[in-house]
A = this chain, B = another copy of it.
């Protein structure tokens, strides 16, 4: 990224985190609000709120940061609500290296605090200064939030299904991750008074970038450099996770190889080295990594075509472009 982009992003992030810290401070009962403050404080790269703030800046003037901030807070609060409840469902002990809320407190606290976070996300929408825009924001937010829940359920369903098509899988990751990235941009644009057309191009840009990012992440998991990614290479294979890579490989294999792949994905050997090596070889046999990388690049090219259609501040369009390019280059 250009130094100016890095600076812009870190300025926006800092202003966002300041606002976030003000949100839940000192509200009662503490047993309900403390876990919310906790999960919002430990949290991540703030990609979604940055997307919302950038969209607001692209579509409005600098003053419109006032409009973008409430929706940035809404999407980040919503995203963390999903993490909090997903962690209960997956019984995950850690989130970003810290104990999860249901571990540090208990499951009931995590359920109720999560519920309140979802309500708080909607509360942020009420703070958008131009009142006439709130109805549109609410409807957009509902559409996005519904999609994310549906995606989560499809993901759960797919774990036990053996007939998941590539189309089903793409639909699932679209709902589960891409819709919220697109939604963050669309909400930021609408909050700043963008036309429906502009907002919809930004949504499409975010959605397609999200799809590209998910494929990129799948590739990195299996073919990335573990030292650089900080993750165990082949982790998805070890956990029998039916990623796009897996489904695409399965599609192209002959009967014998297909049986072997299914066999590897139906058990978890104590030493996974042979399993990872064999599955990786089966994937490479049909040039699947190349096919997946190609699809990723197609999604990304289509995403940029939508961004090109957006009429707005070119400087912030450039920052948005660099931010997403950076996400896709990360550790590859």
Contact B28 A112 (CB under 8 A): no
Give the CA-CA distance A125 to B114 in the complex, in Å: 21
Q: A127-154 toward B: CB 8 Å interface, digit per residue (1/0)? A: 0000110110011011001100110111
In-complex Cβ contact of A111 among B89, B139, B141 (8 A): B89
Q: Any chain B CB within 8 A of the CB of A221?
A: no
Q: Any chain B CB within 8 A of the CB of A156?
A: yes
Q: Any chain B CB within 8 A of the CB of A276?
A: no
Given contacts A108-B89, A126-B135, A135-B135, is CB(A116)–CB(B149) below 8 Å?
Answer: yes
Minimum distance in angstroms from A263 CB to a CB of chain B? 28
Residues of chain B within 8 A (CB-CB) of A134 are: 134-135, 138
Q: Any chain B CB within 8 A of the CB of A304?
A: no
Q: Any chain B CB within 8 A of the CB of A118?
A: yes
Could you say which of A119, A139, A145 has the most chain B C-beta atoms within 10 Å of its C-beta? A119
Give the CA-CA distance A131 to B136 in the complex, in Å: 9
Give the CA-CA distance A114 to B156 in the complex, in Å: 16
Q: Any chain B CB within 8 A of the CB of A272?
A: no
Q: Any chain B CB within 8 A of the CB of A269?
A: no
Number of interface residues of A (CB under 8 A): 38
Q: Any chain B CB within 8 A of the CB of A31?
A: yes
Q: Any chain B CB within 8 A of the CB of A48?
A: no
Q: Any chain B CB within 8 A of the CB of A271?
A: no
Q: Any chain B CB within 8 A of the CB of A88?
A: yes
Residues of chain B within 8 A (CB-CB) of A139 are: 126
In-complex Cβ contact of A123 among B132, B142, B152 (8 A): B142
Residues of chain B within 8 A (CB-CB) of A141 are: 122
Q: A93-137 toward B: CB 8 Å interface, digit per residue (1/0)? A: 000000000000000100110111011101101100001101100
Give the CA-CA distance A123 to B143 in the complex, in Å: 8
CB closest chain-B residue, reference A124? B142
Contact B115 A149 (CB under 8 A): yes
Q: Any chain B CB within 8 A of the CB of A157?
A: yes
Contact A111 B112 (CB under 8 A): no
Contact B154 A142 (CB under 8 A): no
Q: 7 closest Cβ contacts across the A-B interface? A: A134-B135, A32-B153, A89-B108, A116-B149, A126-B139, A123-B142, A29-B153
